[in-house]
Amino acid sequence: MDWGWLSLDKLMDPGTNIGAAALAIFVFFMAWLTSVISTRLLRRPIWTVGKLKRKIDQTVIRYITRIKNLIILLTAGLIYASLVPSLKALLGALLAGPGITAVVLGFAAKSALANLISGLFLAVYRPFRIGDKVTIENE
């Protein structure tokens, strides 16, 4: 099969524009498929936690699903960038700076991240339920 501008060799070579586009379609289709299958597994109603066999709240499942989808897409992007020759240099630069960036963002968003994690713990462990009376500083 040789149509001049489109040959099997060009289609399978990520160094060409058409090959890079075909690889991008394949990698992100596989990421989408992985995301759909793992989301269906996570949304099963049989998930329980601990010895008490408590059901997991739907809010926690949605939160975990969104984080999982983000990780899958970021991994797919890194795999794609590592396979395309022209993006390998960019990938090296992108991977060199995250340590410093994480420290800076960690200090900048310390209180916001603490509140986010506290909210997640409240959703997971449920120390109180709807209808409970809570006393905070004698109020």
Q: What is the pLDDT of residues 26-77, one digit of tens each?
A: 889 999 999 999 888 877 766 555 555 666 667 777 888 888 999 999 899 8
**Is residue 85 one of the residues assigned to a domain?**
yes
What does the pLDDT look like over 80-107, one tens digit per residue?
Answer: 888 887 777 777 777 777 777 777 877 8
Which letter does DSSP use for residue 44 in this model? -
User: CB of 72 within 8 A of CB of 41?
Assistant: no
**Is residue 137 one of the residues assigned to a domain?**
no
CA distances to 10, 16, 70, 92 from 21, rounded to whole Å, are 11, 9, 22, 21
* Top-confidence residue, 127 or 30: 30
Q: How many CA atoms lie within 13 A of 137 on its CB side?
A: 0
Tokens of residue 128, six digits: 């109180």
CA distance 9 to 19: 9
Indicate left, alpha or beta for 55 from its phi (over 0: left) and psi (-120 to 50: alpha).
Answer: beta
**Is residue 136 one of the residues assigned to a domain?**
no
**Is residue 86 one of the residues assigned to a domain?**
yes
The boundaries of the domain holding residue 98 are: 8-125
**Is residue 1 one of the residues assigned to a domain?**
no
State the total domains in the chain.
Answer: 1
Which letter does DSSP use for residue 73 in this model? H
Q: Give the residue from 18, 13, 20 showing the smallest Cα distance to 90.
A: 20
Q: Among 17-21, 22-26, 44-48, which range has the highest average pLDDT?
A: 22-26
**Is residue 138 one of the residues assigned to a domain?**
no
CA distance 37 to 69: 11
User: CB of 30 within 8 A of CB of 21?
Assistant: no
Tokens of residue 111, six digits: 């209180």
